[in-house]
């Protein structure tokens, strides 16, 4: 295992140690034990910049399941490194923030940091795995760990609801994604992403190509909260603020973005990819920004803004896919959309992470996130207000912050859609710049609402649970670092253009051999349509923000019955009711009924298989002759077994049952197996004795408890017996391998120095079976002893009382 693999699994290893650290060092906040790991991982991944800056990659692999062609192949290229730095860098800041946000005396920090580390490791596995099945394994682990994080405050109903909702939707998408992975394997014969990309031109015409495309996109859309699957993300805001800052600004919701970016070289040449990715992205951008304006909770505003920003990045990746339809990708000016997608991915992580932390500070220091109760906090929390200004202005796309630059590039990408003459973009393509501009207006409005409704206006101390004051320095460090990056990248964007943006772009749209992407980002582009679009956004945005109370009633026009959340809740309720009614049909509490279902399925499935596969065969050529004694014993067993069903006395039933067992032992005597005969006799004697000992405590058999003849039960019993007999006869008649008996005959004495073949088989050839059987018996004995001991001690305590 390489150092790269160790870096991926290191969060899982540390998660094992967290409970011990929490128990041994309760006086120290557990976060201090966690913080060094993301810092070390961030430093480690920084060392790869010298390689990826040259648009090269590093691949490390070791065999995991070679029989299935599954290797744990870790690949660091520009795209994987960008996400790894976000995961570990933002992760370190979130851990530092959580140390001051979560009270070590009130919170179960051991579980919180275990969940956080599991999520961090899962995300690293997703973005660095070159094998699709390994990627899927980590992908589902992100759903599981995020479920635990969102439901961390499990005593709250909303937290449980939000965790369940995120799990159901994202796991549903994950299963669809698995189907897409399997289809890709059927087309290419490999799970390696690198090898699949190399075969993309060959599989383009395969009939499984479009189904695979749809399945992969469904997984990406659910994870990245694209419309209409976005409904889980606002409910996930019930998680602690550090979780929201981590999952919904830089990691989990970006997993779907990563998947689309990673699989673009495979699917981008199909028109469906462009329309679905860009179309769902632009609709999500509009709906998210439109919905954010009506929210009154700070984290709810940020949640819908995240939905909106994810839609923006997704739409850019879709439009950027058009560049692959030109002879030379690097010469196409449509690559600006992909550059903007990567750039805004970084920018969003910086300003959104800081804004989530600002919302957490406001909640922590005032006791509420409701903007209707807030206002006038600027004088009490000047540093937090400054951080909020930087984050919201960047999110609104105002200069001189980094969000302005990527938003301008976003407008450029949308405007250039009108110049495309492929996939009918010259007609319906006009919707992209229109929706982009309208959504940007709403983005400006909710950004202004977020900062000014919270920090300016009338101060309302009577509505606050706490007296507001500035947050402690430890809680401010992380948002200050992120806000500083917002400013630095805004003024000096090219410090990341060739170190992070261009290498990631080369991973999404592989250039011709020898060509190097060279992104140049700058403020002034002249008097372009994008500049006038920005001026229009600011002008209209200010006007609508100033008149917000007058037109906000427009949201009341949308009927609540048509809300997607109502649809989700309705589907959940219907499925629960249907499953309850279905379960009630067959779960009636009678074992007899359950056996009827089991044996009926047994008969139908196995009998059908025997005849469909033409597997039934009856060959007597290799069967020993049957003697009269054996026939008589068999008839005796059958007669005793059938008689048990009709006797009216439990004593008679016990005697007949013992007769069946003793008769079986006679078969072993005839077949010259004295050991088996002796074992059977001992077991049967003990069983009969136990039945007789328990007989004294059993009530008399009542008339209604006597077994009555039922044709259904008789048919099922005969059917099971017939099917088992047919399988036994077929197995004996269709021997595909030589019997192992001769091996035991030849090697019993030679290999094990034993003359009793049965004993040698049990002790030597099948020693592990015997060992585990003894272990089971030992555990059962310990369990019985423990129950007796507890019962005795309980009795003594009662006597003392």
For 508-550, how does the pLDDT look when each residue is reduced to its tens digit (9 = 90+)? 888 766 677 777 888 877 788 888 999 999 999 999 999 998 8
Q: What is the pLDDT of residue 358?
A: 95
Q: What is the pLDDT of residue 792?
A: 59
What is the Cα Rg of the chain in Å?
35
Q: What is the pLDDT of residue 384?
A: 94
Q: What is the pLDDT of residue 800?
A: 53
Of 135, 127, 185, 452, the residue nearest 298 (C-alpha) = 452
Residue showing tokens 């585990």: 772
**Percent of the chain scored above 70 by pLDDT?**
94
CA gap 674, 759 in Å, rounded: 12
pLDDT of 155 over the 80 cut: yes
Contacts of 590 (CB under 8 A, 6+ apart): none
Residues 149, 151, 155, CA angle at the centre, nearest 5°? Answer: 140
Contact 30, 113 (CB under 8 A): yes
Strand (E) or helix (H) holding 141: helix 132-150
Query: How many helices (H) and strands (E) would you count in the chain?
Result: 33, 2
Confidence tier at 556 by pLDDT (50, 70, 90): confident
Q: What is the pLDDT of residue 801?
A: 47
Domain boundaries, the chain: 591-742, 743-801
pLDDT of 578 over the 50 cut: yes
Q: Where are the alpha helices (DSSP H) in 587-618?
A: 591-612
Largest CA distance in the chain: 108
Q: What is the pLDDT of residue 791?
A: 66
Number of residues assigned to the chain: 801
Residue showing tokens 């065969």: 617
Three-state SS at 332: coil
Tell me the average pLDDT of the chain.
88
Q: Where are the alpha helices (DSSP H) in 151-251?
A: 157-188, 193-198, 200-203, 209-223, 232-235, 241-247
pLDDT of 610 over the 50 cut: yes
**CA 113 from chain center: how many Å?**
18
Q: What is the pLDDT of residue 518?
A: 77
Highest mean pLDDT (candidates 435-439, 616-620, 649-653): 435-439
pLDDT of 26 over the 80 cut: yes
Determine how many CB atoms are found less than 10 A away from the CB of residue 14.
Answer: 21
Highest mean pLDDT (candidates 255-264, 645-654, 723-732): 255-264
**Percent of the chain scored above 90 by pLDDT?**
52
Q: Give the alpha-carbon dihedral of 705, 708, 713, 717, to 10 degrees.
A: 90
pLDDT of 707 over the 60 cut: no
Residue showing tokens 């006869």: 729
Q: What is the pLDDT of residue 421?
A: 67
Highest mean pLDDT (candidates 218-227, 319-328, 578-587, 609-618): 218-227
Q: What is the pLDDT of residue 193?
A: 93
pLDDT of 735 over the 90 cut: no
Q: What is the DSSP string of 383-417?
A: HHHHHHHHHHHHHHT-TTSHHHHHHHHHHHHHHGG
3-class secondary structure per residue, 690-722? HHHHHHCCCCCCCHHHCCCCCHHHHHHHHHHHH
Confidence tier at 767 by pLDDT (50, 70, 90): confident
275, burial (CB in 10 Å: exposed 0-12, middle 13-18, buried 19+): middle
Give whole-number Cα distances, 754 to 495, 741, 765, 774, in Å.
78, 16, 11, 21
Give the burial string for 488-517 (b: 16+ CB within 10 Å, else e): ebbeebeebbbbbbbbbbbbbbbbeeeeeb
Range in 23-37, 66-80, 730-744 with the lowest mean pLDDT: 730-744
CA gap 499, 519 in Å, rounded: 10
pLDDT of 326 over the 70 cut: no
pLDDT of 284 over the 60 cut: yes
Mean pLDDT calculated for residue range 767-796: 82
801, burial (CB in 10 Å: exposed 0-12, middle 13-18, buried 19+): exposed
Confidence tier at 780 by pLDDT (50, 70, 90): very high
CA gap 351, 518 in Å, rounded: 25
Of 489, 470, 472, the residue nearest 385 (C-alpha) = 470
Highest mean pLDDT (candidates 61-70, 186-195, 510-519): 186-195
């Amino acid at each position: 295992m390489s150092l790269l693999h160790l870096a991926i699994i290191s969060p899982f290893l540390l998660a094992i140690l967290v409970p011990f650290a929490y128990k041994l060092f309760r006086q120290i906040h557990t976060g201090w034990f966690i913080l060094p790991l993301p810092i070390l991982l961030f430093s480690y991944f920084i060392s790869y910049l010298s390689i990826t800056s040259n648009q090269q990659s590093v691949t490390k692999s070791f065999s995991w399941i070679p029989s299935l062609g599954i290797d744990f192949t870790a690949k660091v290229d520009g795209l994987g490194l960008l996400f790894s730095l976000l995961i570990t860098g933002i992760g370190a800041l979130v851990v530092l923030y959580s140390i001051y946000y979560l009270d070590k005396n009130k919170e179960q920090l051991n579980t919180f940091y275990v969940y956080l580390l599991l999520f961090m490791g899962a995300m690293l596995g997703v973005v660095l795995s070159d094998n699709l099945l390994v990627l899927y394994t980590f992908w589902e682990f992100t759903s599981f760990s995020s479920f635990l994080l969102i439901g961390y405050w499990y005593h709250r109903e909303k937290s449980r609801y939000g965790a369940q909702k995120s799990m159901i939707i994202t796991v549903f998408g994950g299963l669809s994604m698995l189907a897409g992975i399997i289809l890709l394997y059927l087309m290419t014969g490999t799970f390696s992403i690198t090898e699949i990309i190399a075969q993309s031109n060959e599989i383009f015409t395969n009939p499984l190509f479009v189904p695979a495309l749809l399945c992969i996109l469904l997984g990406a859309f659910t994870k990245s909260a694209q419309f209409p699957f976005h409904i889980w993300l606002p409910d996930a805001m019930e998680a602690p603020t550090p979780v929201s800052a981590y999952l919904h600004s830089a990691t989990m919701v970006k997993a779907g973005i990563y998947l689309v970016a990673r699989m673009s070289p495979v699917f981008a040449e199909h028109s469906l990819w462009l329309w679905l990715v860009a179309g769902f992205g632009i609709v999500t951008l509009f709906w998210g920004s439109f919905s954010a304006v009506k929210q009154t909770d700070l984290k709810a505003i940020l949640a819908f803004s995240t939905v909106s920003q994810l839609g923006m990045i997704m739409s850019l990746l879709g439009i950027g896919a058009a560049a692959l339809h030109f002879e030379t990708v690097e010469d196409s000016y449509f690559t600006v959309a992909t550059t903007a997608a990567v750039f805004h991915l970084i920018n969003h992580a910086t300003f959104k992470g800081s804004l989530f932390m600002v919302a957490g500070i406001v909640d922590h220091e005032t006791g509420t996130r409701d903007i209707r109760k807030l206002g006038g906090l600027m004088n009490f929390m000047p540093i937090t207000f400054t951080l909020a200004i930087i984050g919201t202005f960047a999110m609104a796309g105002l200069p001189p912050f980094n969000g302005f630059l990527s938003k301008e590039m976003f407008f450029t990408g949308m405007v250039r859609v009108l110049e495309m003459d492929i996939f009918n973009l010259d007609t319906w393509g006009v919707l992209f710049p229109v929706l982009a501009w309208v959504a940007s207006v709403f983005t400006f409005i909710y950004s202004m609402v977020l900062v000014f409704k919270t920090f300016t206006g009338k101060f309302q101390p009577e509505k606050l649970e706490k007296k507001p004051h500035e947050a402690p320095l430890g809680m401010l460090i992380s948002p200050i670092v992120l806000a500083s990056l917002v400013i630095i990248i805004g003024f000096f964007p090219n410090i990341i253009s060739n170190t992070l943006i261009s290498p990631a772009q080369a991973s999404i749209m592989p250039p011709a051999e020898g060509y190097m992407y060279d992104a140049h980002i700058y403020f002034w582009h002249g008097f372009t349509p994008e500049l006038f679009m920005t001026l229009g956004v600011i002008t209209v945005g200010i006007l609508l923000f100033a008149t917000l109370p007058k037109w906000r009633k427009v949201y009341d026009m949308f009927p609540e019955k048509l809300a997607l959340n109502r649809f989700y809740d309705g589907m959940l309720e219907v499925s629960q009711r249907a499953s309850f009614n279905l379960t009630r049909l067959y779960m009636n509490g009678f074992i007899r009924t359950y056996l009827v279902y089991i044996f009926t399925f047994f008969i139908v499935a196995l009998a059908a298989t025997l005849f469909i596969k033409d597997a039934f065969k009856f060959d007597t050529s290799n069967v020993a002759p049957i003697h009269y004694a054996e026939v008589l014993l068999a008839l005796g067993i059958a007669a005793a077994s059938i008689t048990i069903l009709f006797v009216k006395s439990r004593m008679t039933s016990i005697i007949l049952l013992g007769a069946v067992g003793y008769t079986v032992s006679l078969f072993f005597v005839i077949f010259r197996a004295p050991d088996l005969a002796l074992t059977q006799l001992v077991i049967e004697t003990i069983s009969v004795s136990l039945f007789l000992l328990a007989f004294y405590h059993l009530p008399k058999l009542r008339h209604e408890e006597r077994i009555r003849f039922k044709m259904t039960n008789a048919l099922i019993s005969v059917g099971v017996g017939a099917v088992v007999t047919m399988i036994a006869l077929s197995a004996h008649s269709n021997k595909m391998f030589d019997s192992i008996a001769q091996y035991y005959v030849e090697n019993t004495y030679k290999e094990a120095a034993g003359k009793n073949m049965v004993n040698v088989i049990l002790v030597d050839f099948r020693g592990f079976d015997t060992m585990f059987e003894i272990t089971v018996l030992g555990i059962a004995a310990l369990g019985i002893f423990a129950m007796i001991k507890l019962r005795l001690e309980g009795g003594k305590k009662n006597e003392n009382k």
